[in-house]
Each structure stands twice: as C-alpha cells, then as structure tokens.
Amino acid sequence: MTQAPDKAKERLSQISTHLKPDSQPNVLPGSDMGKDVLLKKSPDDVVVTCAIRSPFTKAGKGQLKDTMAADLLAYTFENLISKSKIDPNLVEDIVTGCVLAPGGGATEYRAAALAAGFPDTTAVKSLNRQCSSGLQACVDIANQIKTGMIEIGIGSGVESMSTQYGPGAVTEFSDLLENHMQAANCKVPMGVLSEQMAKDRKVTRADQDAFAASSYQKAVKAQEQGLFDEEIMPVTVKYTNPKTDEEKTVTVTKDDGVRPGITAESLSKIRAAFAKDGSIHAGNASQVTDGASAVLLMKRSTAERLGQTILGKFVNASVVGVPPLLMGIGPWKAIPVVLEKAGISKDDVDIYEINEAFASQCVWCLKELGLDEKKVNPKGGAIAFGHPLGCTGARQVGTLLTELRRTGQKIGVSSMCVGTGMGMAAVWVAE
C-alpha cells in the first residue's frame, strides 16, 4: 500500500525536523558496581536453558518455502523438547511472535504446540510487535516468571514470508487514520522512509555497502566454522522444486542466504530499489526469509532442581516509541534506556546483536551511539542470513548467548528497530 506521491513526499520531508541534537538519549558512563551486581547469581534469576532455531531459507525459493508457519513452529518446538529434555507437562505457557499471520496465528500456533507434544494444559498466546515480536515473546515469558504467574515458559517466533508476505498483511486505513499526519505515516513503506532517512542523515551508499559486505563475510566465516550449529536444529519438510514441479522430502540443515564472495565492490553494482539515485538495495537490506525460533525460560532455582543447563539469564528490557518516519532509529533510543535500567554503560557490553533491517539504519545507530563495530553482530546478521519478522527477536537470544559462551564473555544486548516507529532492546548475561 503506497501513499499518493505528493502526500508521501510531504510526510517524508518531515524527517529532517525530527532528529535534533537535544534529542540524543543518555548513554551512561561505566559503573563497576553496576556490572558487578549484574554478574551476581540469584535463585530468582530468570534463566535461559535452551535457545534454538530452524535454519533460515529464502522466501519463495528456499527449501522451507512450502512449509506453513505453524508446521515450522511445531518442528521447532519438537526440537526444543528433544534438545532440552524438558518434560512438556512442566511448560505452563508459550508465547509466539508473528507479524504476518491472519488472526495473529493464535489458533494454528496453539495447534502447533499440541502437535509438537505439549499437553492441553500448556497455554499458548501469539503476539505482534512487528520486528521485535520474538523478543517481546521472550520478555513476556520472563516477566510472567518474575511475577510468579508461571514457573516455566517458552518465548518463540515464527514467520513464513513465502506464504504470508505481501500487501494483504496490512489492512486499508480508515479516513480517521489517513487524515491524521502521524497515523498515516505508519503506512509509509519502510524501504522508502529508510531511503529518505539515509539521504537526510548523510549515510552514504559506500558506508552501507561496506557494512553489508562485512555482515556477509562474518556469516560465511561463522558458517564455515560451525558457529551456528549449536543454535540451528535441522528440520525435515516437503519441498517442491519450482523448475520441475517435483515434490520431495528434504532435511534442511543450514541458512541458505549466506553467500561467499560478497564485497563492498560487488554490492556497489546492484541497482537501488527505492529511488533512481538511492542507496538502499537488495544487497544491503535484510533478506526476506522463512524461519522459527524458541527459547526455554525458568527461574535459576527451577533449572537447578531439574538439572537443566543454564546458558544465561535475562536482566531487563526496554521498549520505546520514535516518529513513524524514523523507525530505523529505534535501537539508538532503546539501547540507552535498557543500559540505564541495568546500571551499566555501553562499554560494559561485550556483544551487541542488533537486527540489520537496513544497513543504513544500523550504520547510523552505531555511529550515534558510539558503539565499537567489532562488538556488533560478530557472526553477521539479517543482511546475510535473513529476517523472518516475528522470529528474529527470539533468534537473537540464541545467537547472542552461544557466542558469549564460546568466547568466554558475559554481557550482551539484543535490539532492533520496529515498524511504525519503535525500538526494543534487552540485556542478557551468559554463564
């Protein structure tokens, strides 16, 4: 759904008025006391004992293209049960993030949990906070555990962009919404507004392509070294070859978007997607992808009693609003808020997992926050292996904790921008 050209142009021209120097979020100085407190262990800590995902494959092309979202979710739940060895009867609630499914996927995701082996006593909820849905699902479960509402739960996310991506995912706006400036801005296509923001904030195509090439190169190296193996669980599905129309059963084991040989120079040859003189294109934006992820959470005391391996703990989270036309700046605003809640500084964080919706917004956020690029997405990100919308936030938890543990580091932050103008972030500590 697009806006009339003159109206869209008028709204996009607002971008330059929204970011002013005095709107910079606070970034706290370092605090050894805050970090020491963060690293302490308590029986009441909300911990992660298993965090897995399916492989990610290209929408419409990859080997998951014919698999419905609910089926992919069911397979991922089965894999979570198998890997964690949790008794399904102990899981009290499951929250699943999803963006595109009609009705939020509520009915089919409850069915998916039952098909995966959870009893009818396990409750299921679906939610949609756009690109942060998977993280919001994990945070909802963590907060339920903190308040004593449940003892054990699963935060998860799924998206079949092959079967559900397109204009039908957004309903037409009423006159009430269409005639309200900020409300109408919520439907400006993200690629269009990201292009305009890149121009306004002077994020060059060269910088975007360099960032994107680095994402690919890191992901290729990580895949070659088997660094995704701990988080990815294979799935066996039916796949129809689009050229021969032959259906066969395949076992999908790895992300298919990771491509070797990508350089800033090779990306510079791709035509811009949203403007003739633009800078955003298919090579420096997140891939349209299918995938599912799931994270098992409980209190530390519960994990120890059950003999569950503790991967890390959830500390806290932030969610913020930003102007709809500037949705890409979400991490810039959300990360300082969550760091302040945790009592730590940006330099106390060992690894940042920041969703690569567009290279343009990542480059801008990293620069404005003053983050060390070596700490950001060390195994690549959504540009290299994809962004199944409702899944990514839960995927990041597993990617982050496994890398922190592998490298002997402790503190991590996951974050993303959110469509319609929001940002979300969370702090995690590995064990």
Catalytically annotated residues: 131, 387, 417
Residue 386 is encoded by which pair of tokens?
């994809």
Report the residue count for the chain: 431
Distances in Å between the alpha carbon of 298 and those of 129, 133, 139, 146, 274? 23, 20, 12, 9, 45
Question: Checking phi first, is residue 322 left (phi over 0); if not, alpha (psi -120 to 50) or beta?
Answer: beta
Please state the φ and ψ torsions of residue 170, each to the nearest 5 degrees.
-125, 130
Per 3-state DSSP, the chain is made up of helix, strand and coil in percentages (nearest 5) of 45, 20, 35
Q: Which amino acid is present at 59? A: A
Instruction: Using DSSP bridges, classify how beta strands 123-127 and 351-354 pair: parallel, antiparallel or unpaired.
Output: unpaired
Residue 113 is encoded by which pair of tokens?
């949990």
Please tell me whether residue 315 adopts helix, strand or coil conformation. Answer: strand
User: In which residue are the tokens 């419409």 written?
Assistant: 60
Which residues face 289 on adjacent strands?
58
Residue 397 is encoded by which pair of tokens?
């938890």
Confirm if 404 and 349 have CB atoms less than 8 A apart: no
Instruction: Using DSSP bridges, classify how beta strands 411-418 and 351-354 pair: parallel, antiparallel or unpaired.
Output: parallel
Distances in Å between the alpha carbon of 149 and those of 144, 185, 302? 5, 38, 14
Confirm if 149 and 54 have CB atoms less than 8 A apart: no
Confirm if 120 and 411 have CB atoms less than 8 A apart: no
Rounded distance between C-alpha atoms, residue 158 and residue 128, angstroms: 11
Rounded distance between C-alpha atoms, residue 400 and residue 68, angstroms: 27
Rounded distance between C-alpha atoms, residue 365 and residue 327, angstroms: 11
**DSSP annotation of 325:** G
- Radius of gyration of the chain from Cα atoms? 21
Residue 123 is encoded by which pair of tokens?
């409750």
Confirm if 398 and 83 have CB atoms less than 8 A apart: no
Confirm if 52 and 79 have CB atoms less than 8 A apart: yes
